[in-house]
């Protein structure tokens, strides 16, 4: 008896079937190391073929997103330098009441 029902009862059999299906789904969705390697190699091959077929599109993506990354890095560094300068100036003006320390 399980949960008050005998083993042959309909709800117990349904529960066993549901659990076995969930286990099968988990096994189907978890690729092995070999399957994962194959999947990565296949994806790499598709990307490589696409890049060879459309080189100007890929070059434009690299140019646009690379430029955006460089600009973001430049602005971030400039902001950090400005914060450092403000921190130093505040420390000089009011060393005991520094809000940033």
pLDDT tens digits for 2-61?
A: 555 555 555 666 667 767 776 666 655 555 778 899 999 999 999 999 999 999 999 999
Ordered alpha helix ranges (H), the chain: 10-29, 33-53, 55-93
Residues belonging to the chain: 101
- Percentage of the chain lying above the pLDDT 70 cut: 67
Q: Where are the domains of the chain?
A: 31-97
User: Cα–Cα distance between 62 and 78 in angstroms, integer?
Assistant: 24
Both tokens of residue 9? 């009862």
Q: Cα(47)–Cα(76) distance, rounded to whole angstroms?
A: 32
DSSP-based three-state secondary structure for 7 = coil
């Amino acid at each position: 008896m399980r949960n008050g029902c005998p083993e042959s009862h309909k709800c117990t059999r349904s529960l066993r079937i549901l659990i076995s299906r969930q286990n099968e789904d988990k096994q189907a969705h978890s690729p092995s190391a070999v399957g994962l390697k194959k999947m990565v190699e296949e994806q790499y091959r598709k990307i490589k073929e696409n890049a060879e077929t459309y080189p100007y599109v890929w070059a434009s993506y690299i140019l646009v997103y690379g430029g955006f990354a460089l600009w973001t890095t430049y602005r971030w560094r400039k902001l950090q330098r400005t914060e450092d300068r403000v921190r130093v100036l505040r420390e000089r003006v009011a060393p005991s009441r520094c809000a940033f320390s």
